[in-house]
Amino acid sequence: MRESEVKVNGQIRMREMKDNELLLDLLRDRLEVKSVKAACWRGECGLCTVLLNGELVKSCLVLAVEASGGEVVTVEGIGEDGSGGGGLTAIQRAFMEHGASQCGFCTPAFVLTTHELLRRNPSPTESELTEAVSGLICRCGTYNQIREAVAAVKAHDKRSVSKKLVESTR
């Protein structure tokens, strides 16, 4: 056991960590961040994906101690106020509008991953999107709706950029 602190969605959480504890179990069972889903435990379905120090990782493949002193962001932490309390992000609204979740189990992972994709690359191509989510499985098969949701955010973003451009040239 070692006393460690980890920042989760902006809050510092102190916990005693066992050396053989997975980050997934720390987040889900002891810090009660339930958007992080436990399903395959072997890095295949990607539904335990979180941001660890700014990088997307599958938390079933990471030890909790590896996150000590670090920062974890889950889907609860990407809302507009950044602390999970409030506003939805553009991609979350698009998921709702396009019915991009059915049972909802994979939704946090897909939202987090596509949110991060769009943050890094506001206009991903089809193949860039496919590649970005290739480590995630939606067992209901809502891939087309997810594609549409991302396309909608992309188009909206383009419109607002061109609108801003037009405004700035006036």
Residues near other proteins (CB under 8 A) are 19-22, 25, 28-29, 38, 41-43, 46, 49, 55-58, 60-63, 65-66, 131-132, 134-135
- Closest to other proteins by CB, 96 vs 140, is 140
- Whether the Cβ atoms of residue 46 and residue 58 lie closer than 8 Å to each other: yes
d(CA 42, CA 44): 6
- Closest to other proteins by CB, 3 vs 19, is 19
- Closest to other proteins by CB, 66 vs 88, is 66
Q: Which two tokens stand for residue 63?
A: 């030890």
Work out how close the CB of 83 gets to other proteins at its nearest, in angstroms, rounded to a whole number. 24
Work out how close the CB of 40 gets to other proteins at its nearest, in angstroms, rounded to a whole number. 10
- Closest to other proteins by CB, 54 vs 86, is 54
Structure-token match 């049972």, residue found: 103
Work out how close the CB of 108 gets to other proteins at its nearest, in angstroms, rounded to a whole number. 14
| Angle (deg, nearest 10), helices 90-97 and 107-120 | 130
Instruction: List the Cα angle 61/62/66 in 5-degree steps.
Output: 165
Residue 61 Rama label (left phi>0; alpha psi -120 to 50; beta): alpha
Work out how close the CB of 88 gets to other proteins at its nearest, in angstroms, rounded to a whole number. 24
